[in-house]
């Protein structure tokens, strides 16, 4: 995307896709949080498969038009929703969408969501089911705001207040996640556990409880995310498999099929998260 400066909020505008993206200068106040505002300026409509990624994504729609979330449980209108790290088969549709997106690292999600990640049960969940009236009030305030600067500052302040006094992830689990990310998923669980003086079973239990995935599944997810971005950037399946640590192209194909429900070639044509 080409970046332009408009007012005090940096905005990305993709002329082909017709989407405007606004970001908060200097980033969010909290570690592990990224904020962005999206507007469908050309009324192209939103039709997006939700792909697994190493972040929990919160989307807050502005106005009265809800998104339609299609999953294995059917179709459900949602004005705001949370997509976990591995959301399962899900599709998001909407017309003339305008929303605020909050991308949370697992550490930030553990603090801000208010429920253990494992309770999201691998599915897209309505934000009001987690935050209740606080989600409704935040959405109303964001809808009433007239500029991206105001909306993003409101969201940032809300999250900062919510984080005050909230539980934090254990240092060992946070470090294990950071190690998996730093090594792009190419780590051995036994080595991770040994680095903290923990048994493999103890790491498996604590990590799954606080991240919502097993350490092995988290490593698969992080590796897949790098592969998806490489494919989207134009890399071939064979080059991507080699660069991202897959045993061979067939291994990449299996993981992409399992996580995205398509072939690497089809995945290459899908947009990655802009957050």
pLDDT of 2 strictly over 80: no
230 and 111 within one domain:
no
Q: Give the span between the Cα atoms of 21 and 38, in whole angstroms.
A: 5
Instruction: List the beta strands (DSSP E) in 151-236.
Output: none
pLDDT in tens, 58-98: 999 997 888 999 877 778 899 999 999 988 778 898 888 89
pLDDT in tens, 133-179: 999 999 999 999 999 999 999 999 999 999 998 999 999 999 999 99
Q: How confident is the model at residue 272 (pLDDT cuts 50, 70, 90)?
A: very low
Looking at residue 32, its pLDDT comes to 96
Of 139, 163, 187, the one marking the end of a domain is 163
Looking at residue 270, its pLDDT comes to 64
202 and 66 within one domain:
no
Supply the angle between the helices 133-144 and 148-163 in degrees, to the nearest 10: 160
Looking at residue 8, its pLDDT comes to 38
The answer to whether residue 275 sits within a structural domain is no
95 and 212 within one domain:
no
Q: What is the pTM of this model?
A: 0.88
Task: Please tell me whether residue 100 adopts helix, strand or coil conformation.
Answer: strand
Total domains in the chain come to 2
pLDDT of 267 strictly over 50: yes
The residue count for the chain: 275
Q: Give the span between the Cα atoms of 170 and 148, in whole angstroms.
A: 35
- Which residue range forms the structural domain that includes residue 204? 171-268
Q: Could you tell me the CATH number of the domain that includes residue 98?
A: 2.60.120.10
Beta bridge partners of 103: 34, 57
Q: Give kind and range of the element (H or E) at residue 74.
A: strand 74-78
Beta bridge partners of 201: none
Q: Could you tell me the CATH number of the domain that includes residue 242?
A: 1.10.10.60
The answer to whether residue 30 sits within a structural domain is yes
């Amino acid at each position: 995307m080409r970046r332009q400066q408009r007012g005090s909020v940096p905005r990305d505008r993709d002329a082909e896709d017709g989407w405007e993206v606004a970001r908060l200068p200097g980033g969010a106040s909290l570690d592990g949080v990224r904020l962005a505002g999206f507007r469908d300026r050309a009324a192209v409509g939103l039709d997006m498969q939700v792909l697994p990624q190493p972040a929990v994504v919160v989307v807050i729609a502005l106005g009265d038009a809800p998104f339609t979330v299609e999953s294995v449980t059917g179709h459900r209108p949602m004005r705001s929703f949370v997509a976990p790290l591995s959301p399962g088969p899900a599709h998001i549709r909407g017309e003339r969408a305008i929303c605020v997106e909050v991308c949370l690292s697992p550490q930030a999600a553990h603090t801000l969501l208010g429920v253990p990640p494992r309770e999201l049960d691998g599915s897209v969940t309505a934000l009001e089911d987690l935050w209740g009236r606080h989600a409704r009030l935040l959405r109303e305030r964001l809808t009433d705001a007239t500029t991206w600067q105001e909306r993003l500052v409101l969201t940032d302040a809300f999250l900062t207040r919510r984080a005050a006094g909230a539980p934090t992830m254990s240092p060992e689990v946070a470090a294990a996640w950071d190690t998996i990310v730093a090594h792009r998923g190419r780590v051995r669980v036994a080595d991770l556990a040994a680095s903290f003086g923990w048994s493999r079973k103890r790491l498996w239990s604590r990590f799954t409880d606080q991240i919502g995935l097993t350490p092995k599944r988290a490593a698969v997810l992080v590796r897949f995310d790098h592969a998806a971005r490489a494919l989207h950037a134009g890399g071939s399946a064979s080059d991507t498999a080699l660069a991202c640590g897959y045993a061979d192209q067939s291994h990449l194909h299996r993981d992409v099929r399992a996580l995205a429900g398509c072939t690497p070639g089809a995945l290459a044509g899908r947009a990655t998260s802009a957050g």
